[in-house]
Amino acid sequence: MVEALLFVVVGLVALVGAITVVMARNPVHAALGLLATLLAVAVLYVVQLAHLVAAVQIIVYAGAVLTLFLFVIMMIGVDRDETTDETLPYQRWVVGGVSLAIIIFAAGLTIFGDFVWVPTATSTLPEATIGTVEAVARPLFTDWVLAFEATALLLTIAAAGAIALAHYRRRVS
């Protein structure tokens, strides 16, 4: 009951934030809408017992990524005169038709077919998915340790690449 109420309220906040991102003329408003969605999704993580991921979501996304977004918005200025003219003819109609077809297909599959979102639970332990630090870290450092090391390399490359791009100057010939 509490989860249902929380899901409705927080889900609405997430949807309103997402629509704000798309509709806002001012990029700062779009960033704030993104913040609302990120926090709402973090609440939904907590509801589903993914505590560590929720904390990481708030620290990394709402903290670091959004700050970076706002920093870049301030750096390159807020330009509101964005054109919405379409350069490719019929693109909107084609995309809209294809999306509508996919939505109708998926809705028909869900309503009329015997499609289930998630088949059956593979583990019988109800505590298996409580996302404490220990529970997430155990598979992370045993089964996925190679991928974990690869992400370390990826982050190093990304930081070096960002610094290289920021220092880029055109050669004056």
Partner 1 sequence: MVDVGWYMALAAALFFIGSVGLLLRRNALIMFMCIELMLNAVNLTLISAGRALNDINGQVAVFFILVVAAAEVVVGLAIIVAIFRLRSSASVDELSELRG
The C-alpha atoms of residue 126 and residue 147 are separated, in whole angstroms, by: 27
For residues 83 to 112, the per-residue mask of contacts with partner 1, x marking binding by CB under 8 A and - elsewhere, is: xx--x-------x---x------x---x--
CB 71, min distance to partner 1, A: 8
Q: How far apart are the first and last CA of the chain?
A: 70
Tell which positions 30-69 bind partner 1, by CB under 8 A: 30-31, 34, 37-38, 41, 44-45, 48-50, 52-53, 56-57, 60-61, 64-65, 68-69
Among 114, 168, 172, 173, binds partner 1 (CB under 8 A): 168
- Between 99 and 104, name the residue whose CB sits nearer to partner 1: 99
Size of the site for partner 1 (CB under 8 A): 79
The C-alpha atoms of residue 1 and residue 9 are separated, in whole angstroms, by: 13
Q: How far is CA 73 from CA 20, 45, 107, 111, 148, in A?
A: 16, 29, 39, 43, 32
